[in-house]
């Protein structure tokens, strides 16, 4: 390998997962030499990588600094922290360290709508994509959601709608999006970031070079630095002359400035937080040039995504909602506040891997709705200590047990919400598996 590096420019791809594979395919299509590295001794995609790239060197285990220093660019997958010592040494030595999104931005010819935030990214990204499709725009949707960014590249695409994580944004120099947003900011990934400031700074990179900026009226952490040259468009809360919000005109409406657009009762997605998602999508689509009639048509038929405040079923007037994608406190707070219907109880299933979060942030919302909590997973004791007497607490050792206990403690008119505020890997394959098991448990309950 050293001989190959000495005689030609070579790029290093760190990570052989979905993103790493997309980078390898992209570079191979360009005739670019590369090596693949993975910090795991036996990565799960190893056989596939060897089959697809038989002539490429693959180095598994601890990152080799000399290999990185011999390359002209290092492309890091989002799951690998750029603070890893070997990567830091390469950066200090002047080696370019980027991610797949930087490569995507260099190659993309169509405008980009860039969407990040602690919560609701997938819902808003999908919604804007559906709005563009309704308008007849040739749109490509992906990034952190679904298809990796580099596999979306196509000269026929007229608009890219991209969900971007903080991990992806860390390695972007200048995104230059047509329109960019941070939907919201709440504590997340503090097991990777030194502190909240570092996490917020990673998110703020989405605004670098943006033509239009969309920010959350109710969340000052989403606002760009004061020195930003672009005037932001706001969404959320009560409407004013600064963007998109809610207005009362006999009934509640989504509005642009002070002009009513459609009654909120016409939305198919449920919960107050989904009104903010609808307003964010309208603001993004409007800035991207999507016609208003197409956007409103889409809002009237968009039923939401799996595992995101998804209505599952009802038994004896008790409703069940699957919000397994609620993997942090901010997402769970949004779900609780969106579905709260006093004086009925909301029975919330919480727990999993807590990622270093402060669960005392849940207590005001839990206390306000006279809630009950069922705890599952590794950090159940941590959550119980944090919420104290803010809710009646029960424990469950499986998802079926949690669903059964929730139903047994419910009264007519109550709702059961799975919104764990935690990662899923202590008990499940991923959040999708957790949500599917919740849905199966509900169906078994109904059939019993």
pLDDT of residue 5: 40
For residues 423 and 327, the answer to whether their CB atoms sit within 8 Å is yes
pLDDT band at 226 (very low <50, low <70, confident <90, very high): low
Domain extent at residue 9: 2-98
Average of per-residue pLDDT values in the chain: 92
Domain identity same for 273 and 232: yes
Alpha-carbon span 132 to 294, nearest angstrom: 8
C-alpha span between 121 and 115 (Å, rounded): 6
C-alpha 387: how far from chain center: 26
Mean pLDDT of 19-39: 95
pLDDT band, very low/low/confident/very high, at 169 (cuts 50, 70, 90): very high
Residue 325 falls in the annotated catalytic set: no
Whether the CB-CB separation of 132 and 139 falls below 8 Å is answered with yes
Instruction: Tell me the mean pLDDT in the region 138-145.
Output: 95
- Whether residue 339 sits in one domain with residue 248: no
pLDDT in tens, 119-133: 889 999 999 999 999
Reported as a pLDDT band with limits 50, 70 and 90, residue 303 is confident
d(C-alpha 324, C-alpha 268), whole Å: 19
Write phi, then psi, for 115 (nearest 5 degrees).
Answer: -125, 120
Given the residues 121, 178, 212, 273, select the one marked as catalytic: 121
- Whether 353 and 267 map to the same domain: the answer is no
Q: Is 189 a catalytic residue?
A: yes
Q: What is the pLDDT of residue 342?
A: 54
DSSP 8-state assignment for residue 166: H
Which pLDDT score is estimated for 9?
82
Q: What is the mean pLDDT of residues 158-165?
A: 97
Q: Does residue 410 or residue 272 have the better pLDDT?
A: 410
| More confidently predicted of 305 and 409 | 409
Q: Identify whether residues 143 and 273 lie together within a single domain.
A: yes
Q: How many other CB atoms sit within 10 Å of the CB of residue 438?
A: 27
Question: What's 121's domain CATH number?
Answer: 3.40.1190.10
Q: Give me 315's structure tokens.
A: 């038994």
Closest CA to 126 of 254, 265, 307: 307
Active site residue 144: yes
Q: How many domains does the chain have?
A: 3
Tell me the CA end-to-end span of the chain in Å, nearest whole number: 62
pLDDT tier at 7, thresholds 50, 70, 90:
very low
pLDDT confidence of 8, banded at 50, 70, 90?
low
Looking at the chain, the whole-number percentage of residues with pLDDT higher than 70 is 96
Kind plus residue range of the DSSP H or E element containing 36:
strand 33-38
Q: What is the mean pLDDT of residues 312-321?
A: 92
- 354 shares a domain with 322: yes
Catalytic member of 11, 119, 144, 274: 144
17 and 150 in a single domain? The answer is: no
Q: Which of 98, 121, 144 is the last residue of a domain?
A: 98
> Choosing from 11, 178, 184, 189, which is the catalytic residue?
189
Q: Are residues 74 and 179 in the same domain?
A: no
| 158 alpha carbon, distance to own chain's centre | 24
Boundary (domain end) residue, out of 98, 124, 141 = 98
pLDDT of residue 339: 82
Average pLDDT over residues 236-253: 92
Question: Are 222 and 333 in the same domain?
Answer: no
pTM above 0.75, yes or no: yes
User: Residue 262 is inside which H or E element, if any?
Assistant: strand 259-263
Q: Give the model's pLDDT for residue 168.
A: 95
Q: What angle (nearest 5°) sits at the alpha carbon of residue 75, between those of residues 26 and 120?
A: 85
Q: Of 315, 323, 369, 376, which is closest to residue 346 (Cα–Cα)?
A: 369
Q: How confident is the model at residue 79 (pLDDT cuts 50, 70, 90)?
A: confident
* 349 and 280 together in one domain: no
Q: Is residue 280 a contact partner of residue 271, using CB atoms and an 8 Å limit?
A: no
Query: pLDDT category, 180, cuts 50, 70, 90?
Result: very high
396 and 430 share a domain? yes
Q: Single out the residue in 301, 336, 358 at which a domain terminates.
A: 301
Query: Tell me, what DSSP letter sits at residue 10?
Result: E
DSSP secondary structure string, 220-238? GGGSPPTT-SSPPEEEEEE
Can you give the pLDDT at residue 3?
34
For the cut 60, the answer to whether the pLDDT of residue 214 exceeds it is yes
CATH number, domain containing residue 426: 3.90.190.20
The verdict on 201 and 350 lying in the same domain is no
State residue 66 phi and psi, 5-degree precision. -60, -35
pLDDT > 90 fraction of the chain, expressed in percent and rounded: 77
Residues 6+ apart with CB under 8 A from 273: 120, 309, 334, 335, 337, 338
Residues 360 and 279 placed together within one structural domain of the fold: no
At residue 306, the pLDDT reads 85
């Amino acid at each position: 390998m050293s001989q190959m590096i000495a005689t030609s420019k070579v790029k290093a791809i760190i990570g052989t997962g979905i993103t790493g594979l997309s980078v390898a395919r992209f570079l191979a299509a360009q005739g670019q030499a590369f090596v693949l590295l993975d910090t795991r001794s036996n990565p799960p995609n190893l056989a596939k990588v060897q089959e697809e790239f038989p002539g490429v060197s693959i180095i598994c285990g601890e990152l080799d600094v000399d290999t990185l220093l011999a390359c002209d660019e290092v492309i890091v997958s989002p799951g690998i922290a750029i603070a890893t010592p070997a990567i830091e040494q390469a950066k200090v030595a002047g080696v370019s360290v980027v991610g797949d999104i930087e490569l995507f931005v260099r190659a993309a010819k169509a405008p980009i709508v860039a969407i990040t935030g602690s919560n609701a990214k997938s819902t808003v990204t999908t919604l804007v994509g559906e709005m563009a499709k309704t308008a007849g725009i040739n749109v490509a949707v992906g990034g952190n959601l679904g298809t990796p960014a580099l596999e979306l590249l196509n000269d026929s695409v007229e608009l890219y709608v991209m969900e971007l994580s903080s991990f992806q944004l860390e390695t972007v120099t200048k995104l230059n999006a047509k329109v960019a947003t941070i939907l919201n900011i709440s504590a997340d990934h503090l097991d990777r970031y030194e502190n909240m400031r570092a996490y917020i700074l990673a998110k703020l990179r989405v605004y670098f070079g943006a033509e239009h900026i969309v920010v959350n009226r109710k969340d000052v952490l989403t606002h760009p630095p004061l020195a930003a040259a672009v005037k932001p468009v706001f969404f959320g809360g009560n409407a004013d002359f600064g963007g998109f919000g809610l207005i009362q005109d006999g009934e509640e409406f989504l509005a642009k400035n002070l002009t009513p657009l459609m009654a909120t009762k016409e939305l198919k997605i449920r919960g107050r937080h989904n009104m903010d998602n609808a307003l964010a999508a309208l603001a993004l689509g409007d800035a991207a040039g999507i016609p208003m009639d197409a956007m409103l048509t889409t809002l009237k038929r968009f039923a939401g995504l799996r595992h995101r405040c998804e209505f599952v079923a009802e038994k004896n007037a008790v409703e069940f909602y699957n919000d397994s994608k609620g993997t942090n406190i901010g997402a769970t707070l949004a779900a609780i506040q969106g579905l709260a219907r006093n004086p009925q109880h909301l029975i919330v299933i919480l727990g999993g891997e807590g990622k270093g979060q402060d669960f005392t942030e849940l207590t005001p919302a839990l206390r306000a709705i006279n809630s009950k909590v069922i705890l599952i997973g590794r950090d159940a004791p941590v959550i119980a200590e944090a919420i104290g007497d803010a809710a009646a607490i029960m424990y469950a050792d499986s998802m079926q047990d949690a669903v059964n206990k929730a139903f047994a403690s419910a009264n007519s008119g109550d709702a059961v919400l799975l919104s764990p505020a935690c990662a899923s890997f202590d008990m499940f394959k991923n959040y999708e598996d957790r949500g599917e098991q919740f849905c199966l448990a509900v169906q078994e309950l109904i059939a019993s």
